[in-house]
Amino acid sequence: MLHAGCDVGSLTAKALVLKDGGILDSLVIRAKANPIESADEVLKTLLSGLKLDIQDIDFIVSTGYGKDQVPFSKCSRSEIVCHARGAWASHPSTRTVIDIGGQDAKVTRVDENGNVLNYRYNDKCASGTGRFLEVMGKALEIELEEMGEIVKESTREISFSNQCVIFAETEVVSMVNEGVAIPDILAGLSRSLASRVAALARSVGREADVVFTGGVAKNSAVKQALAKALNIDLMSPAEIDPQVIGAYGAALLAREICESGEDLQQAV
């Protein structure tokens, strides 16, 4: 049987297809202004590459920022539940999930079965999110994918007096004008973001093993800074892109709903 998860975020849209419980393929695209268009493009493009149609999928669950605007999904589930399920399926030893996406950061405690016990999230300020890095990257004319490697060249520890994106961007521009090295600035930004998320993790009472998911989990500089801030080893999802963990969890939930024989009206 075929099951799919579609995760429509503020910056990217992700889709993943399971065949008989195993990952068939996944895809990440840049999100469009309209969540419906984002969902339509990411899933149809993925299915086209697999030579499949939406009609071939037995059940689809949507999640993410635009989860309730995905017309072809049978039901939607929260990002918290989907990331918890996806991280736990990747690492059954998972007890805490740290998810940093484009518009928010979430820390979730899960039990031995991947069920959500407690969570905290920050969606009021961009300072602990992927948006923070995106804005700073534009100010420095650096692509997000390049940041992790550039930070490795840092030789000096600097700090930012402001966590607000607007004021931090002003600080970045001032530092560039003063001749501060770009790697040092990026390292400082990584520590600033990590500090914000670490405080969130402490508030939820993080417990090992801790799995780092979301698009920002692919940034090695942030991952290293966050591990240091929490004084722990951060695990990455096993054999799967951390950015598609939400879509993976949604697909797993789609499969569970089908296997349980749950009434579709109840599933919604």
**pLDDT tens-digit map of 131-142:** 888 888 888 999
Quote the percentage of the chain above a pLDDT of 90.
74
The third-level CATH classification (topology) of the domain covering 1-91+241-268 is Nucleotidyltransferase; domain 5 (3.30.420)
122 pLDDT more than 90: no
- Least confident piece of the model among 47-56, 123-132, 135-144, 244-253: 123-132
Range list for CATH 3.30.420.40 in the chain: 1-91+241-268, 93-236
Distance CA 63, CA 89 (A): 17
What would the two tokens of residue 249 be? Answer: 């969890």
Please tell me the distance from the alpha carbon of residue 268 to that of residue 263, in angstroms, as a whole number: 9
- pLDDT score, position 161: 75
CATH classification code of 93-236: 3.30.420.40
pTM > 0.85: yes or no: yes
- Per-residue pLDDT reduced to its tens digit, 142-195: 988 889 899 999 999 988 876 677 778 888 999 999 999 999 999 999 998 998
pLDDT at 130: 80
**Is it the case that residue 266 has pLDDT exceeding 60?**
no
For the cut 90, the answer to whether the pLDDT of residue 206 exceeds it is no
pLDDT > 70 in the chain, percent: 95
Lowest model confidence (mean pLDDT) among 43-47, 127-131, 219-223: 127-131
| pLDDT for residue 132 | 85
User: Tokens representing 205?
Assistant: 């009472």
